[in-house]
A and B are shown apart, each in its own frame.
Chain A
Amino acid sequence: MSYPKDLLFSKEHEWVRLEKTVATIGITDFAQNELGDVVFVETRACDEKIDLGEPIASLESVKAVSDVYSPISGILKESNETLLDAPEKINDSPYEDGWIARLEISDAEQLSKLMSAEEYASFVAKESD
């Protein structure tokens, strides 16, 4: 399992990469492994206001469907449209090509509630017990 050090992590297994005021969001390596092969992705329309905890995408694997919840509030600026034809990117490259959404953040305070890579690694280790 990999946990890139430049990212922040949520308890729902999403990651956030912050560049100035834009946050890129995806699901972690742990989450994609649990989910199995993703075959369909549904994303939300752009410019929608997203609250912390609101679903920003739906991932269908053969086994189950999983909603991705936004770990922060903001305005949805971009969804990764390439996932519609190539959903396997989420499994193959969860932190890079498999990014799911980009938000213009509205509350920088929320980031302090997320975990560092080390904290997330411990969190996952405990969950797997």
Chain B
Amino acid sequence: MTLKKTPLHKSHQKLKARLVDFAGWEMPIQYSGTLPEHLAVRKNAGLFDISHMGEIEVKGSNATTVVQHMTCNNITTLTEGQAQYSALLTHQGTFVDDVIVYKFSKSKYLLCVNASNSDKVFEWIQVNAPKKAEIINRSKDFVQLAIQGPSSQEILQKITPTNLSDLSSYHFRVGKITGHQAIISRTGYTGEKGYELYLSPKSGTPIWESILRIGSEHGLQPIGLAARNTLRLEMKYPLYGNDIDNTTTPFEAGLDWIVKLDQGEFIGRDALLQQKSEGIKRQLVGFELLERGIPRDGYLVYLGDMEISKVTSGSYSPSLGKGIGLTYLPSEHAKIGTEIKIMIRKVAKTARIIATPFYKGLI
């Protein structure tokens, strides 16, 4: 099976990016190197091709009812042009996917979903929508780019008439970038100030090139998926398939804040009410490795002599200069300061639960 390519594929090849298979797409894992790319985003700015992500539209007079029912957060307080981090849950209260919901109007919403879950979420909504609505998989209609970093506003402002200084976090506008139609969203997955841009496939390459050209004097670099991962990990932003999946609930993942139990029925609500009354048995925690090494995804975690869990996400943190990771621990042990051991290629190395986010910069 050949890998899918985003419209930016030739641009990545031109930049000599290392391309790998990610969720069935051939994507750039790095350009100049994970460490310099990560640090460039924290210090200046970075440009990401995230066109592999999915976009699903829900339209019609029942759109609000449908999205409210399918997601665990409360969309009824959203204004037009506001976005919200949320999740679609199974009837067991576990994750179908984490999403960003964009409210265009009370009869039009756009859901941005993970690349690996595009088709799954589309089908899930179609099957489970409580009322009739137009549900359209628009993934192929969008190039998605992200520009993230302290200089991102300055760079982007040079190529859009949209006033970015009054576009606040988790809000979006429909505007133009270098004359092309664009949805400009003040959202991101890095912990830095930044924007996610939804563009037509044809305008993807010209806008990518413009941002690279104008951004270069501000230290902007193209950023691959490896650095995208270390950036989000430093912020303890979960990754579906690693930290959250159809066996974990938002309460276990520390995402209580996206669950609104008192805003009416949604799929998974009953299960979550039950879990809440029974008590949450495990928690997703962050740890730092106290010895040299990298606690990679899937490595075993020990509490005393007992194998207790696995590293769900783990890597080297370029900002902290040490190994960091996430894992689920039984709630009674999920406390800051608790020592655990990570089995790194047959050697048990000491780690300690610490407060997250790991990176505490200015957001």
A interface residues, Cβ below 8 angstroms from B: 36-37, 39-40, 42, 58, 60-63, 65, 84
Contacts and interface: CB of A to CB of B under 8 A. Distances in A.
Contacts of B35: 37, 39, 62
A42 B292 contact: yes
Given A39-B316, A65-B345, A60 B33 contact: no
A62 B293 contact: no
Query: How would you classify the secondary structure of chain A's contact residues: helix, strand, loop or mixed?
Result: strand
A36 B292 contact: no
A61 B230 CA distance: 13
Given A42-B292, A62-B294, A63-B29, 6 more contacts: A39-B316, A60-B294, A61-B34, A62-B226, A62-B315, A65-B294
Nearest to A42: B292
Which residue among A58, A62, A84 has the maximum number of chain B CB atoms within 10 Å of its CB? A62
Nearest to A37: B35
Query: How would you classify the secondary structure of chain B's contact residues: helix, strand, loop or mixed?
Result: mixed
A60 B293 contact: yes
Interface of B: 29-30, 33-36, 226, 230, 292-294, 315-316, 318, 345
Contacts of A63: 29, 34, 226
Contact of A36 (B34, B293, B345): B34
Contacts of A42: 292
Given A62-B226, A62-B315, A62-B316, A37 B33 contact: yes
B34 A40 contact: no
Which residue among A58, A60, A84 has the maximum number of chain B CB atoms within 10 Å of its CB? A60
Given A62-B35, A62-B226, A40 B294 contact: yes
6 contacts: A37-B33, A37-B34, A37-B36, A60-B293, A62-B294, A62-B316
